[in-house]
Amino acid sequence: MHDVTLIGIDLGKHVFHLHGQDRAGNALLRKKFSRKQLIIFLGNLHPCTVVMEACAGAHWMARKLSELGHQVKLISPLFVRPFVKGNKNDFVDAEAICEAASRPSMRFVTPKTESRQSLSALHRVRDSLVRDRVKTINQIHGFLLEFGVSLPTGSAVIRRLPAVLAEHVLPPQMIALLERLHAHFKYLSEQVDQLDKEQARQLADDDLGQRLLTIPSVGPVTASALTAEMGDGKQFGCSRDFAASVGLVPRQYSTGGKPNLLGITKRGDKNLRRLLVQCAKSYMRRLGSQTGPLADWVRSLLTRRHPNVVACALASKLARIAWAIATRHTTFAAEPLFKPI
């Protein structure tokens, strides 16, 4: 047992499968534990390298095992899959994790801190509430249209729905249903507003978040998302690595020495990618009032490429700027000239 240097753990909700090996790659350990048994076993084991897939519960487990003195690494499940031999089961998965971690060129995921993980959860809850609010608005529009009432698009008219209902003759049952939907819309709006205030409070106490706000078109929501997903940025070797992790670089399909670049890869966090593209489009809409090297670069690119291509290129540029600000502890040279999103 003292020769074990690398342990792969296949995570589960209640049961965890371990595969341990020595420096030469020989299998020495093959056990199944409950969550409590796993903590006790690894707490009594000498410090070694523990590797897991970056999935549900992995970041908490990584922090817990780091406190026990182990070196913890997380791998994307996408990189573990090619090392699965034969039929899939939990022990084979744990062995594949060890095999993937032993590759010298393997890329690992940095475990998140509690604050970053909580901030990521806040963003996911906010996005879910916004989607529910949009769905409620669409239902109200659709039900009213079934009775010949056509309203302007947007949420402003929904806020004064009781006045709209008073102007039209509708069945009592439909009025009661629409009032319920209107109450649900108000509840969702209040929850989103409360989460926005919580985001702003957390961002005000974060030095990195305040520095990210100096990037043109980057507002509190995007700065908060960048802080949660990027952290200090040291897990990325360069700015392009961070842009690639968000899926904002061209997808390559080259063969025979002939390079062939396609659309963006769309890897990583789609919410962060969406926010960066929205920031880029907001910047382009106000390009006439922008000055500096960044604005000149966007204007030059617009003369040669479609605006959607330029938006993705600018979003990638904003991601690179954010990485540089995080790693070099600086701010963007030019202040935003308009209200960010």
Residue-wise pLDDT tens digits, 139-173: 999 998 888 888 888 788 888 888 888 888 888 89
Assigned domain for 91 exists: yes
Asked if 320 and 234 sit in the same domain, the reply is: yes
**Is 181 inside a domain boundary?**
yes
Looking at the fold, whether 220 and 149 belong to one and the same domain comes out as: no
Neighbours of 171 (CB within 10 A): 9
pLDDT class for 209, splitting at 50, 70, 90?
Answer: confident
Give CA–CA dist 308/281, Å, rounded.
9
Give domain status of residue 334, yes or no. Answer: no
Candidates 293, 294, 310; CA nearest to 302 is 310
Choose the final residue of a domain: 52, 71, 101: 101
Average pLDDT, whole number, for the chain? 87
Tokens 């700027």 locate to 321
If asked whether residues 200 and 219 sit together in one domain, one would say: no
81/92 Cα distance (integer angstroms) = 11
**At residue 341, does pLDDT exceed 60?**
no
Percent of the chain with pLDDT over 70: 97
**Same domain for 230 and 181:** no
d(CA 233, CA 295): 25
Q: Do 216 and 246 fall into the same domain?
A: yes
What local confidence, expressed as pLDDT, does residue 185 receive? 94
Domain assignment of residue 106, yes or no: no
* Residue 109: inside a domain: no
The answer to whether residues 215 and 232 belong to one domain is: yes
Q: Is residue 135 one of the residues assigned to a domain? A: yes
d(CA 268, CA 245): 5
Looking at 44, 70, 101, the residue that finishes a domain is 101
CATH assignment at residue 83: 3.30.420.40
The answer to whether 152 and 214 are in contact (CB under 8 A) is: no
CA distance 195 to 123: 9
Of 137 and 27, more confident: 137
Task: Give the rounded percent of residues in the chain with a pLDDT score beyond 90.
Answer: 30
Q: Are residues 124 and 172 in the same domain?
A: yes
Shared domain for 194 and 218, answered yes or no, is no
Which residues constitute the domain of residue 79? 6-101
Give yes or no: residues 125 and 41 share one domain. Answer: no
Among 47-51, 86-90, 99-103, 325-329, which stretch is predicted with the lowest mean pLDDT? Answer: 86-90
Number of domains making up the chain: 3
Q: pTM score > 0.75 for this model?
A: yes
pLDDT for residue 336 is more than 50: no
Alpha helix (H) residue ranges in 56-171: 58-67, 77-80, 90-101, 114-146, 156-159, 161-166
**CA–CA distance, 104 with 96 (Å, rounded to integer):** 15
Q: Strands 250-252, 71-75: parallel, antiparallel or unpaired by DSSP?
A: unpaired
Q: What is the mean pLDDT of residues 84-96?
A: 87
**Does any domain span residue 333?**
no
Structure tokens at 168: 């039209």
Answer yes or no: do 53 and 151 share one domain.
Answer: no
Residue 1, pLDDT score: 61
Instruction: Indicate the residue type of 293.
Output: P
Residue in this structure with the two tokens 């806020």, named with its chain if needed: 159
290 and 271 belong to one structural domain:
yes
| 57: confidence class by pLDDT, cuts 50, 70, 90 | confident
pLDDT score recorded for residue 134: 93
pLDDT at 337: 47
Whether residues 237 and 298 share a domain: the answer is yes
Mean pLDDT of 295-308: 91
Task: Examine residue 107 and state whether it is found in any structural domain, yes or no.
Answer: no
pLDDT digit string, tens, across residues 223-262: 988 988 888 888 888 888 889 888 988 888 888 888 888 8
Give the model's pLDDT for residue 334: 63
Q: Of 101, 134, 162, which residue constitutes the final position of a domain?
A: 101
8 A C-beta contact, residue 25 and residue 83: no
